Amino acid sequence: MENKFKLVLKDGRQLYGTCFGYPKKTIAELVFNTSMVGYQEIATDPSYKDQIVVMTYPIIGSYGINEEDNESKAVRLSGIICKEYNDMPSNYRFTKTLNELLEESNVPLLQGIDTRYLTRIIRDEGSQIAMICEATYSLEKALEELNNYELPTNQVEMVSTKKKWISRTKNPKFNVVAIDFGTKLNIIRCLNKSGCNVIVLPHTATVEEILSYNPDGLFLSNGPGNPEVNINAIDVVKKLKGKLPIMGICLGHQIICLASGAKTYKMKFGHRGGNHPVKNLLTDKIEITSQNHSYAVLEESIKNTSLEVTHINILDNTIEGVRDDKAKLFSVQYHPESAAGPEDSKYLFETFTKYMNDFKKGQ
């Protein structure tokens, strides 16, 4: 028996479909992702906390889910919207279906939606709060709940690790402390592959706690929500800037910029997908990048800081990377670990290890 459900927007528009996963009423921020593959990574990426993701690629689920490609230990998003869901995967690696993963995680998937139409709404009107609910649910009641809903501001607290954990590698050359704001596991794997033992600490980590591990470098992870609420992390970067090489990705990039005196703002609909063109201003090369963010750094606010802009987005000229070469600090807005996505930007982990090497020699 089909579960008839609908998506309700704040202006009263209703889009009807069939519910897979765990059929329940859900309210969250509605965003879209243009990736052709990677729904498993998207579902388990902590940066999607409190978001319903519209997948623009028309068929989702066709290669199933495997045990190796999760980006965290749990499904983090609030729901998935797609045109067509395939519940019969064809892939030698698959161990369960997307439907089974979402059902276990109490997350709904709504299929049968005109995702091109829905994506145009988000593109033209911006990301917005929406509800997934049963088709018979009262529109009046749905709109009342939508109008009264406020997005949480403690998403990082909800997805960050609660205690320290360590990921070691063979023949390590560096010890890196990573602050977890909602880190993707492939970032830790990439640091390991670059010769780093990684000590992962909660988002509440203090300067004293970080330095107690005598690290060669500090890494700031991706994560969900408004970067400005991470007051502790911003203060930590201010105090450690110049005392350790520092690398940041996504939310980590925004925190580095805020700690340096720049400002951030919420974008109309953000960047989410695996094919965003970014220009490296240091090499004049174009990188195809994987992205997932709602906030960006205000260009004008960079001018009075020590930061140099190193990367810009070709589509809208937003800032995609900065550095302070003297302080051995740099960050990018996109995801160089890029799973699932292109691999154009993995050199950035080499940049981090070079900074750590140079810093060691200078001591």
SS3 content of the chain, % helix, strand, coil (to 5): 25, 35, 40
Helix (H, G, I), strand (E, B) or coil at 122: helix
3-class SS of residue 84: strand
First-residue to last-residue Cα distance in the chain? 68
User: Which of 250, 287, 293, 320 is the catalytic position?
Assistant: 250
Nearest residue to 326 via CA among 310, 312, 307, 309: 307
Please state at what angle helix 231-240 crosses helix 251-259, rounded to 10 degrees: 60
Distance of CA 195 to the CA centre of its chain: 24
190 has catalytic annotation: no
Token pair listed for 336: 């160089």
* 335 in catalytic set: yes
The catalytically annotated residue of 203, 293, 311, 335 is: 335
Q: Which of 29, 41, 320, 337 is catalytic?
A: 337
321 vs 310: CA distance, rounded Å: 5
Residues 6 or more apart whose Cβ sits within 8 Å of residue 316: none
Q: Is 337 a catalytic residue?
A: yes
Q: What's the rounded Cα separation, in Å, for the pair 351 and 363?
A: 19
Rounded-to-integer distance, Cα 358 and Cα 361, Å = 5
Q: Smallest Cα–Cα separation from 159: which of 39, 69, 74? A: 74
Catalytic residues: 250, 335, 337
